[in-house]
Amino acid sequence: MTRVFVGVLVSAIAVAAWFASTRFADASHTTSTAQGLAAWEQIYSVLTHPRCINCHTATNYPQQGDERRRHVANVVRGPEGKGVPGLNCAGCHQETNADSTGVPGGHNWHLAPLSMRWQDMHDQAFSSAEVCRALTDRSKNNNLDGPGILKHNEEESLVKWAWNPGRRPDGSARTLPPLTHEEFVAATRRWVDAGMPCPSGKGVVVWPLFD
Amino acid sequence: MVATAINRRGFLRVSFTAASGLLVSLYLERNALGQDAPKPPQQPKVFPPDAFVNIRPDGKIVIQVNRLEFGQGVQTALPMLLADEMDADWASVIGELAPAADVYKDPLFGFQFVGGSGSVAHSFQQYRELGAKTRAMLVAAAADRWNTTPDKCRAEASVVHGPNAQTATYAELAPDAARKPVPAKVNLKTPAEFRLVGQRIKRIDSRPKCNGSLKFGLDLDLPGMKVAVVAHPPVFGGRVKRIVDDEARRVEGVRDIFEIPLAKGTGVAVVADKFWPAKQARSRLKIDWDVTGVEQPDSAELWTRYRQLGQTPGNVAVNRGDANAIDKIAAANRIVAEYKFPFLAHAPMEPLNTTVRFDGVRAEAWAGSQFQTVDQIAIAEVLGLKPEQVTFHTEMAGGGFGRRAVTDSHIQREAAVIAKRLRGTPVKLVWTREDDVPGGYYRPMHFHRVEIGVGPDGLPVAWRHVIVGQSILSGTPFESLLVKNGVDQTATEGAADTPYNIPNMHLSVHHPKVNVPVLWWRSVGHTHNAFVMETLIDELATRAGINPISYRRRLLKPEAKKRLSTLELLDTASAKWRNSLPAGHALGVSCHECFGTGVACAVDVSIENKRPKIHRATVAVDCGIAVNPLTIESQFQAGLGFGLTQLVPKGAITLKNGMVEQRNFDGYTPPYIIDAPAAVDVHIVPSSEAPTGCGEPPVPVISPAVVNALARLTGKRYRMLPLTSL
Amino acid sequence: MATFRLTVNGERREVNVDPSTPLLWVLREDLKLTGTKFGCGISACGACTVHVGGVATRSCIVPISHIGDRPIVTIEAMAVDPVGRAVQDAWVAEDVVQCGYCQSGQIMSAVALLKSTPRPTEQNIEESMGGNLCRCGTYPRIRAAIKNASAQLPKGGA
């Protein structure tokens, strides 16, 4: 009985939040909020793919591999996300992939800042709502607006690396994100066009009214 | 790494016969039983200092070291002994690693090897005598020259002084001295006369190891040399069924690809001009392996099997008092504990390698070998030669920990087989890390089940213990010596011989046969037995409400002199920090003895990032005379770090469907700086007894000490290694 | 095969090798500089550490084709580098080495640390040296030697 009541309450709040976001959407956007949210889910699926999220950690280390294990050799974040003098990211990760040794490479290889972490301290990916909130928070995202994010997704070399991630030491190709880069950029464009709506979800407070 | 049982009962003599290959026979000295220090079965007919000492015209004194130097400092310690008795100028001493030869055999065991922490212990007398005899010959030569007598001369720092202020350097006297008869007997110095022994003498190989100039086996470069790698079967004992090598042969620099026999099964050798093409080509080989009839071990299955075996007694190692005493003790006063220890790889830093050249008549081999005699015989066998037709050079080695002492000489055999095919061209065989980690020859996995009956005073009155683990020595020439009544003593050492006063003790062992090659891993049986003993003793201490140092002192028999001396020293040396541990820190204590050396250890541990952080370790050591206290300090500081291989979360070799799951340091990850103690202070019990070794004794004490501290922090018992979670 | 012109320890060298060859093997086999060691081949152990363009680099995983004209400095050149010399002297003074196989890499990492941070904290040391494996376990003495070397360096670094 109590659970049913709470469930209804949650649903009501969720519907209200969605309604509110639709209500406050700028009517001049050609992409609807619903389409924008759908585009966001596509973006989220890329961001949480190992090729991206492995460097968007909450800890002082990056991850590697599809199983997202802690990076070999105890490399650490360092003050600027570029490692430390004895273990500098760019020391091993060159400008391009080194397929003969299985080490990925890209220009200015480094960790995303902690403000752009997309997982928690236990290496669990944040929810779609949490990542969206972080990405659109200009105090966290290097002060990027929608067009800035679109440009980042389209042109930033380390972003593009995810679609050309090179070969593992055993010669096999690293897995790619679920969208192509073009699809990813297109989804970003749609999402920005829709006003960068974020889903609600975790973060809605459910009062323990009973029990 | 060879058990101390040998010391007390007899010696090995290793010989080669065409009929039976390697033969190890036991020589029992008539009066061996009842003597403390057995004498070698026979003195060599000629005791030639010149095989050991070469005084060059420029004054440099080159001393041959009859052991592999692989970090333990023997290249410094043995020359120290010789140079001290010789009164040589230490600054002009050079140590060289002796090649394989009869004269360099271990005087106690009769073959050339390093292990069992026995280098200084076994060669202490030998190298001192060599030095004293050389000195005597130099002084005799000088006395001749000055028409006086040796007793009127004195020697100091490579110079002999005559009664009338005459002087002559050793370099000047050397040619005359060499013609002098070697004295049969010499007087050795009293400890008060030592100039070097007992001093903190820095290692002589330090600078070359710091500037890249020291060459290890892997650095060898010979004219025309080729490099080989071998594709090994994914399951031990697998055989090549089919090779598709067209892609491999297209790699530029590849010279030859062919099947070779291995110690077990067959593999494929790739020979190239350089390492990289060899490795590239190997990765492009497509090999079908035949594993029919080959057992395919699986860790999960093995644990089930081992645990089952561990529930019932096996071959009896100890049966003291009343074997059923424990059954008469109320359950509330019993502890039942089961332990699991995984396979461990040694993974020495330098990838294993051997270089061989065979011209059809003679062979030359270069290897950082712990087993020169055995390896020389093996290479000769493969090439159809007599051992003396194989010149075997001992190379400086990047770590070993027992991995370079293998009775089947499998790597040397691989190299010899390839060299045979390359007739005349030297070939360097390299085992990459991907060969090494899954390549076998591990510390065997073990299961222990212990039941303890606790008396009213909190001391154990009954101890029933079953150990399950492969026999390391079965199937080796050492079997007849150290496997008795179905008990491999290398599996029970550290438990069977425990000096804790336990009136009723029953210890038995099962040795399952498993298709995984196993080997001694630095401190061997002590690696797991000390862990079991020292964690259970600690648990008993906690139960009894007695502090861990006092409890051990109470429980140890008075004969356990070296444990008692180290506990006493540990007590005073660590008292200050032990009694002022910050919040969140806990003390862990352990005490053990192996290879004749007693060690007590106290650690200060907290938990950081879900891992044990060892802020500090204090170690007390009783090793008899401390020949070089600096080396001993280093051995213990570093050896603790090695011992932690047992605790780090990825410190385990596991098998699935017959194949080892770990390939390199990403899967089998040894301790890094963050895992090691931040600081270690070492205290040596002053002693004038014969020196005992320090190579292995550091290893068994650290893991139980850390885990004992963790138990205080979390209240949990850690009986499954490695520590994957706290 | 291709020709690569390199600057190694201040000298111009030319090699003709497969472009995929890691720098480590070019150094060891083509240039006969065996001071840089092979330990694992997957950048997990640090025995192969050199400096490329002034940055500590694990040479076992950098193909020669990726070097370009960046200068390469190996352990063999540390004796003539002020920081390198201080580190080597400290290593000897503190009797750090055991088997010694990892120490070329340890020293190269320590030099990189001290050139950037002449007065490193315990955490600095643990982080920069955190990926250099020593199977013998000489870590406590490595810590002491780095502090020793640091004390020898002029305050602003060398």
Residue of B nearest to A171 (CA): B283
Instruction: State whether residue C130 sits within 8 Å of chain A by CB.
Output: yes
Which pLDDT band, with edges at 50, 70 and 90, does A4 fall under? low
pLDDT score recorded for residue A7 = 59
CA distance A92 to C66: 11
Residue C11: inside a domain = yes
Same domain, yes or no: B372 and B492: no
Same domain, yes or no: B251 and B132: no
Q: What is the pLDDT of residues B138-188, one digit of tens each?
A: 999 999 999 999 999 999 999 999 999 999 999 999 999 988 889 989 999
Against chain C, the chains showing at least 3 CB pairs within 8 Å are A, B
CA torsion, ordered B619, B624, B630, B635, to nearest 10 deg: -60
Same domain, yes or no: C26 and C46: yes
Report CB contact under 8 Å: C37, B350: yes
CA distance B483 to B475: 10
Q: What is the pLDDT of residues B235-259, one digit of tens each?
A: 999 999 999 999 999 999 999 999 9
State how far residue B724 is from chain A, nearest Cα, in angstroms: 14
Residue A80: inside a domain = no
Residue where one domain finishes, among candidates C26, C51, C75: C75
Contacts of B178 (CB under 8 A, 6+ apart): B50, B137
Instruction: State whether residue B221 sits within 8 Å of chain C by CB.
Output: yes
Residue A27: inside a domain = no
Asked if residue A153 has pLDDT above 60, the reply is yes
* Predicted structure pTM score: 0.92
State how far residue A56 is from chain C, nearest Cα, in angstroms: 20
Mutate to test the interface with A, among C1, C40, C62 (most CBs of A within 10 A): C62
Q: What's the total number of domains in chain B?
A: 3
Residue A188: inside a domain = yes
CA distance B652 to C145: 31
Which pLDDT band, with edges at 50, 70 and 90, does C154 fall under? confident
State how far residue A109 is from chain B, nearest Cα, in angstroms: 21
Complete DSSP assignment for chain A: -HHHHHHHHHHHHHHHHHHHHHHTS-TT-SS-HHHHHHHHHHHHHHHTSHHHHTTS-SSSS-EETTTTEEPGGG----TTSSEETTEEHHHHS-SS-BTTTTB---TT--PPPGGG--B-TTSPBPPHHHHHHHHH-TTTTTT--HHHHHHHHHH-HHHHHTTS--B-TTSPBPPPPSS-HHHHHHHHHHHHHTT------BTB-------
Candidate from B280, B283, B672 with C-beta closest to A74: B672
pLDDT score recorded for residue B4 = 36
Contacts with B, C 21-50, CB within 8 Å: 21-22, 25, 28-30, 32-42, 44-45, 47
8 Å CB contact between B529 and B537: no
The three-class DSSP label of residue C71 is: coil
Residue C58: inside a domain = yes
State how far residue C115 is from chain B, nearest Cα, in angstroms: 18
CA distance C26 to B433: 19
Could you tell me how many CB contacts below 8 A there are between chain A and chain B? 6
Length of chain B: 726
Tokens of C114: 């001290």
Q: What is the pLDDT of residues C22-31, one digit of tens each?
A: 999 999 999 9
CA distance B322 to B563: 26
8 Å CB contact between A77 and A61: yes
Same domain, yes or no: C54 and C91: no
Residue where one domain finishes, among candidates C53, C75, C97: C75
Residue of B nearest to A170 (CA): B283
CATH number of the domain at C12, please: 3.10.20.30
Residue B579: inside a domain = yes
pLDDT score recorded for residue C148 = 98
Q: Is the alpha carbon torsion for C22, C23, C25, C26 positive or negative?
A: positive
pLDDT score recorded for residue A31 = 80
**Can you give B84-106 as a three-state secondary structure string?**
HHHCCCHHHEEEEECCCCHHHCC
Calculate the CA B673 to chain-centre distance: 22
Complete DSSP assignment for B47-78: --GGGTEEE-TTS-EEEEESS--SSS-HHHHH
Which residue range forms the structural domain that includes residue A185? 32-58+113-193
Same domain, yes or no: C17 and C69: yes
pLDDT score recorded for residue B411 = 98
CATH number of the domain at B29, please: 3.30.365.10
Same domain, yes or no: B155 and B261: no
pLDDT score recorded for residue A211 = 32
Residue A26: inside a domain = no
Same domain, yes or no: C18 and C66: yes
Pairing type for strands C11-17 and C2-8 reads antiparallel
Residues of chain B with pLDDT under 50: 1-47
Pairing type for strands B655-656 and B659-660 reads antiparallel
Candidate from C32, C40, C136 with C-beta closest to B71: C136
Report CB contact under 8 Å: A92, C115: no
Q: What's the total number of domains in chain C?
A: 2
Report CB contact under 8 Å: A74, B283: no
Contacts with C, A 58-97, CB within 8 Å: 72-76, 78, 84-88, 90-92, 94-96
Residue A71: inside a domain = no
8 Å CB contact between B519 and B347: no
Same domain, yes or no: C82 and C141: yes
Residue where one domain finishes, among candidates B167, B201, B235: B201
Query: Among all chains, which residue has been given the structure tokens 């002098």?
Result: B180
Residue B444 has what DSSP assignment?
P
Contacts with C, A 149-188, CB within 8 Å: 169
Same domain, yes or no: B478 and B453: yes
Residue B500 has what DSSP assignment?
B
Residue C147: inside a domain = yes
Q: What is the pLDDT of residues B304-363, one digit of tens each?
A: 999 999 999 999 999 999 988 999 999 999 999 999 999 999 999 999 999 999 999 999
Q: b/e per residue, C40-61, with b = 16+ CB within 10 A?
A: bbbbbbbbbbbbbeebbbbbbb
Q: What is the pLDDT of residues A85-96, one digit of tens each?
A: 999 999 999 999
pLDDT score recorded for residue A14 = 57
Same domain, yes or no: B416 and B486: no
Among candidate residues B328, B344, B405, the one with its CA nearest the CA of residue B109: B405
Q: What's the total number of domains in chain A?
A: 1
Estimate the crossing angle of helix B629-643 against helix C139-152, to 10 degrees.
120
Residue B273: inside a domain = yes
Same domain, yes or no: C85 and C64: no
Same domain, yes or no: B608 and B542: yes
Pairing type for strands A87-88 and B11-17 reads unpaired
Which pLDDT band, with edges at 50, 70 and 90, does C125 fall under? very high
8 Å CB contact between A22 and A195: no
Same domain, yes or no: B585 and B702: yes
Instruction: State whether residue B223 sits within 8 Å of chain C by CB.
Output: no
Pairing type for strands A87-88 and A83-84 reads antiparallel
State how far residue C31 is from chain B, nearest Cα, in angstroms: 12
pLDDT score recorded for residue A16 = 55
Same domain, yes or no: B447 and B424: no
Residue where one domain finishes, among candidates C32, C52, C75: C75
Residue of A nearest to B670 (CA): A73
Question: What is the number of other CB atoms lying within 10 angstroms of the CB of residue B528?
Answer: 30
Tokens of B133: 């005899």
Same domain, yes or no: B409 and B475: no
| Conformation bin of residue B11: beta by default, left when phi > 0, alpha when psi is -120 to 50 | beta
Which residue range forms the structural domain that includes residue B38? 8-201
Same domain, yes or no: B456 and B548: yes
Report CB contact under 8 Å: C41, B274: no
Residue B297: inside a domain = no
Residue where one domain finishes, among candidates B144, B176, B201: B201
Which residue range forms the structural domain that includes residue C13? 2-75
Instruction: State whether residue B615 sits within 8 Å of chain C by CB.
Output: no
Residue C27 has what DSSP assignment?
I
pLDDT score recorded for residue A135 = 94
Residue where one domain finishes, among candidates B201, B233, B263: B201
Instruction: State whether residue C66 sits within 8 Å of chain A by CB.
Output: yes
8 Å CB contact between C107 and C75: yes
pLDDT score recorded for residue A30 = 73
CA distance B227 to B270: 8
State how far residue B490 is from chain C, nearest Cα, in angstroms: 23
Against chain A, the chains showing at least 3 CB pairs within 8 Å are B, C
Residue A92: inside a domain = no
**Which residues in A lie closer than 8 A to residue B608 (C-beta atoms)?**
none
Residue C87: inside a domain = yes
Instruction: State whether residue A43 sits within 8 Å of chain C by CB.
Output: no
Report CB contact under 8 Å: C61, A98: yes
**Can you give B105-147 as a three-state secondary structure string?**
CCCCCCCCCCCCCCHHHHHHHHHHHHHHHHHHHHHHHHHHHCC
Mutate to test the interface with A, among C17, C61, C67, C83 (most CBs of A within 10 A): C61
Candidate from C95, C102, C141 with C-beta closest to B349: C102
pLDDT score recorded for residue B50 = 78
Same domain, yes or no: C147 and C132: yes
Instruction: State whether residue B121 sits within 8 Å of chain C by CB.
Output: no
Complete DSSP assignment for B527-588: HHHHHHHHHHHHHHHHHHT--HHHHHHHHB-TT-HHHHHHHHHHHHHHHHHHTTPPTT-EEE
Residue C20: inside a domain = yes
State how far residue A71 is from chain B, nearest Cα, in angstroms: 9
Same domain, yes or no: B359 and B398: yes
Question: What is the number of other CB atoms lying within 10 angstroms of the CB of residue B102?
Answer: 13
Helical segments of B310-409, H only: 372-383
Same domain, yes or no: C59 and C87: no
Report CB contact under 8 Å: A171, B283: yes
Q: What is the pLDDT of residues A98-122, one digit of tens each?
A: 999 999 999 999 999 999 999 999 9
Same domain, yes or no: B448 and B420: no
pLDDT score recorded for residue B78 = 97
Number of H helices, E strands in chain B: 18, 30
Instruction: State whether residue B4 sits within 8 Å of chain C by CB.
Output: no
